[in-house]
């Protein structure tokens, strides 16, 4: 990176911190919550894009990895005193009933456990071809959910865990997001990232270049799962409750929508798209409400309309704009500067004419 660009990046991050401080102080809770969700979905979608877009593995297991992180935070940060109230149907297993962890510890352990489970799952499935890989990872994501639903003395089963201390405020979430993005960007731009892209482009050629396919696929899969676990942990500590229904694979479809819209293989595209889709889904909730204009009921608007639009969006992108917003390109300072210059130039020109 050039020195000038480095300075610009630092300014950008500083600006982001100012924005967070302002948001924290002055924005209402609803807006803050939407901003937080956007950031969490950014982490989740970006980590899925590492696996799917950059390494070319068609994995559909993200909801499961997210669940692992979320439950880790849920199980171990609920204060020991109130656990009997949360686990009222079946008491918590004695082995873990007295273990309580600070949020950050549970968050990181959740990421690590998620990566470990990814390792166990990856060992058999990463050898499979793309479409089988999709089904197998989807299956494992469901198995994780089924295990969570059934392991009642640990996870409280289908009742879910309530009263999770909602410690994930906007600072926690945004700082975690910045770290995650930075790590993934640095990784992608390293020799390992190039190896991932090589695998995506042509496995046989990559292997002929001495790249161990399995090792690198596993690496990408586990790192992606780690950040999915982190995203899940933040999610649990933002909402204050988790239950197995939060992690249906429809959630994975949502992440898929984000990365397809943003561009499979583009970090900046994923970030933009995570904000557009997440905020869009929040702010378009009115589509699900019956609407009448001047006393005439508009028949389209009723529950479910919003998701019809978003699933249609996924179809339209893949059918007509296959590369999404960015394809595999990135927004960089060069582009922004050029854009700025062009803009300035045009102003000067129009000034001359007048």
Partner 1 sequence: MTTNSNPLLETQEVTIKFGGLTAVNNLSIEVNKGEIVALIGPNGAGKTTAFNIITGVYAPTKGKVIYDGKDITGLKPDQITRMGVARTFQNIRLFKKLSVWENIMIACHLRLQSNFAGAALRFPKYRAEEKRMREKVHRLIEEFGLSRYQDDQASSLPYGVQRRLEIARALATEPKLLLLDEPAAGMNPKETEELTHFIREIKDKYDLTVLLIEHHMDLVMEISQRIYVLDFGETIAKGTAEEVQNDPKVIEAYLGVEEGA
Partner 2 sequence: MVSDIFINALFIPATADAVSSSSLWQYFANGVSLGSLYALIAIGYTMVYGILRLINFAHGDIFMMAAYFAFFGIAVFHLPWPISFILVIVATALLGITLERVAYRPLRDAPKNSILISAIGASFFLENLATYLFSGKPKAFPEIAFFADTVVIGGVSIQIVTFFIPVVTLIFLAVLLYIVNKTKVGMAMRAVSRDYETAMVMGVDINRVITFTFAIGSALAAVGAIMWGTRYPQVQPMMGVMPGLKCFIAAVVGGIGNIPGAVLGGFILGFGEIMLIALLPSLTGYRDAFAFILLILILLFRPTGILGEKIAEKV
The residue count of the chain comes to 354
Nearer to partner 2, 125 or 181 (CB): 125
User: Can you say whether the dihedral through the CA atoms of 135, 321, 312, 67 is positive or negative?
Assistant: positive
| Alpha-carbon span 330 to 347, nearest angstrom | 27
Q: How far is the CB of 90 from partner 1 (least distance, A)?
A: 40
> Which residue lies nearer to partner 1 by CB, 73 or 259?
259
Distance CA 217, CA 221 (A): 6
Other C-beta atoms within 10 Å of 191: how many?
8
**Residue 70 or residue 228: which is nearer to partner 1 going by CB?**
228
Contact partner, 124, from partner 2, partner 1, none, Cβ < 5-8 Å per class: partner 2
Q: Which does 9 bind (CB under 5 to 8 A by kind): partner 2, partner 1, none?
A: none
Least spacing, CB of residue 319 vs partner 2, in Å = 6
**C-alpha separations of 173 from 301, 319, 332 in Å:** 34, 34, 24
Question: How far is it, in rounded angstroms, from Cα 100 to Cα 90?
Answer: 19
> Which residue is it, tokens 């799962």?
225
Closest approach, Cβ 329 to partner 2, in A, equals 17
Q: How far is the CB of 188 from partner 1 (least distance, A)?
A: 9
CA dist 196 → 7, 54, 265 (Å): 29, 6, 11
Answer with the entry of partner 1, partner 2, none that 85 interacts with (C-beta below 5 to 8 A by kind): none
Residue 135 interface partner, choices partner 1, partner 2, none, CB cut-off 5-8 Å depending on type: partner 2
Report the b/e string of 125-146 with b at 16+ CB within 10 A. Answer: bbeeeeeebbebbbbbbbebbe
The one of partner 1, partner 2, none whose footprint includes residue 353, by CB under 5 to 8 A per kind, is none
Residues that bind partner 1 (CB under 8 A): 183, 186-187, 190-192, 194-195, 197-198, 201-202, 204-213, 219, 223, 328
125 binds, among partner 1, partner 2, none (CB under 5 to 8 A by kind): partner 2
Q: Crossing angle, helix 333-353 and helix 3-26, to 10 degrees? A: 90
Shortest distance (Å) from residue 82 CB to partner 2 = 27
Q: What is the smallest separation between the CB atom of 52 and partner 2, expressed in angstroms?
A: 8
Structure tokens at 6: 């480095």
Q: How far is the CB of 195 from partner 2 (least distance, A)?
A: 19
Binding site for partner 2 (CB under 8 A): 56, 58, 60, 124-125, 128, 130-132, 134-136, 138-140, 142-143, 146-147, 149-150, 204, 250, 253, 256, 260, 264, 302-305, 307-308, 310-312, 314-315, 318-319, 322
| DSSP H helical ranges for 3-97 | 3-26, 29-49, 62-77, 83-86, 94-97
Partner from partner 1, partner 2, none binding residue 201, C-beta < 5-8 Å depending on class? partner 1
């Amino acid at each position: 990176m050039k020195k000038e660009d480095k300075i610009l990046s630092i300014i950008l991050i500083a600006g982001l911190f100012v924005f967070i401080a302002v948001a924290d102080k002055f924005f209402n809770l609803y807006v803050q919550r939407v901003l937080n969700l956007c950031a969490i979905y950014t982490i989740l979608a970006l980590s899925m894009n590492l696996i799917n877009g950059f390494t070319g593995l068609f994995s559909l297991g993200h909801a499961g990895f997210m669940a692992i992180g979320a439950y880790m935070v849920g199980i171990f940060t609920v204060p020991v005193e109130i656990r009997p109230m949360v686990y009222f149907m079946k008491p918590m297993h004695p082995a873990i009933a007295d273990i309580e962890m600070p949020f950050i510890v549970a968050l990181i352990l959740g990421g690590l456990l998620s990566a470990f489970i990814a390792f166990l799952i990856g060992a058999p499935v990463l050898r499979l071809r793309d479409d089988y890989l999709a089904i197998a990872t989807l299956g494992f994501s469901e198995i994780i959910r089924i295990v969570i639903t059934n392991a009642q003395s640990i996870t409280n089963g289908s009742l879910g865990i309530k009263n999770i201390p909602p410690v994930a405020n906007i600072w926690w979430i945004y700082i975690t997001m910045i770290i995650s993005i930075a790590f993934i960007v640095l990784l992608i731009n390293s020799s390992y990232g190039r190896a991932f892209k090589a695998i995506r482009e042509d496995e046989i050629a990559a292997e002929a270049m001495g790249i161990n396919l399995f090792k690198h696929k596993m690496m990408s899969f586990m790192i992606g799962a780690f950040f999915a676990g982190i995203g899940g942990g933040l999610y649990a500590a933002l909402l204050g409750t988790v239950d197995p229904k939060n992690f249906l694979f429809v959630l994975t479809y949502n992440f898929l929508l984000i990365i397809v819209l943003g561009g499979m293989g583009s970090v900046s595209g994923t970030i933009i798209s995570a904000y557009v889709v997440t905020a869009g889904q929040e702010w378009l909730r009115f589509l699900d409400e019956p609407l009448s204009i001047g006393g005439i009921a508009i028949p389209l608007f009723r529950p479910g309309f919003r998701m019809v639009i978003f699933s249609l969006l996924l179809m339209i992108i893949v059918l007509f704009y296959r590369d999404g917003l960015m394809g595999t390109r990135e927004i960089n300072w060069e582009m922004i500067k050029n854009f700025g210059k062009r803009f300035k130039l045009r102003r000067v020109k129009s000034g001359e004419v007048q």
